[in-house]
Amino acid sequence: MPNFVHRLLLAALLTFVLAPPASAELADALAAYDRGDYAVAYRELSLLATLDDPAAQHALARMYFAGQGVVQDAKEGLRWEIEAATGGDVQAQFELATRYENGIGVAADMERATEWFRLAAEQGLPAAQYRLGLRLLAATDGKPDLETAHMWLNLAAAKLPPGEVRNTVAHARDTLTARMTVAQVRSAHKLARDWRPKKWSELAAPQAAQSSP
pLDDT per position as a tens digit, 55-75: 999 999 999 999 999 999 999
Query: For residue 48, what pLDDT is reported?
Result: 95
Query: For residue 205, what pLDDT is reported?
Result: 62
Which residues does 41 contact at the CB level (< 8 Å), separation at least 6?
29, 30, 32, 33, 59, 63, 68, 69
> Measured between alpha carbons, how far is 20 from 84 in angstroms, rounded to an integer?
17
Residue 36 located in a structural domain = yes
Domain span at residue 75?
A: 1-109
Residue 194 located in a structural domain = no
pTM reported for the whole predicted model = 0.86
Q: What is the count of structural domains for the chain?
A: 1
Residue 69 located in a structural domain = yes
- Positions of the chain with pLDDT under 50: 1, 10, 13-19, 208
Residue 3 located in a structural domain = yes
Query: For residue 100, what pLDDT is reported?
Result: 95
Q: What is the SS3 string spanning the chain? A: CCHHHHHHHHHHHHHHCCCCCCCHHHHHHHHHHHCCCHHHHHHHHHHHHHCCCHHHHHHHHHHHHHCCCCCCCHHHHHHHHHHHHHCCCHHHHHHHHHHHHHCCCCCCCHHHHHHHHHHHHHCCCHHHHHHHHHHHHCCCCCCCCHHHHHHHHHHHHHHCCCCHHHHHHHHHHHHHHCCCCHHHHHHHHHHHHHCCCCCHHHCCCCHHHHCCC
Residue 22 located in a structural domain = yes
> Measured between alpha carbons, how far is 39 from 64 in angstroms, rounded to an integer?
13
Query: For residue 41, what pLDDT is reported?
Result: 96
Residue 94 located in a structural domain = yes
The CATH number linked to 99 is 1.25.40.10
Residue 59 located in a structural domain = yes
Q: What is the pLDDT of residues 164-182, one digit of tens each?
A: 999 999 999 999 999 999 9
Query: For residue 26, what pLDDT is reported?
Result: 93
Please say whether the beta carbons of 60 and 44 come within 8 A. Answer: no
Query: For residue 141, what pLDDT is reported?
Result: 79
Residue 72 located in a structural domain = yes
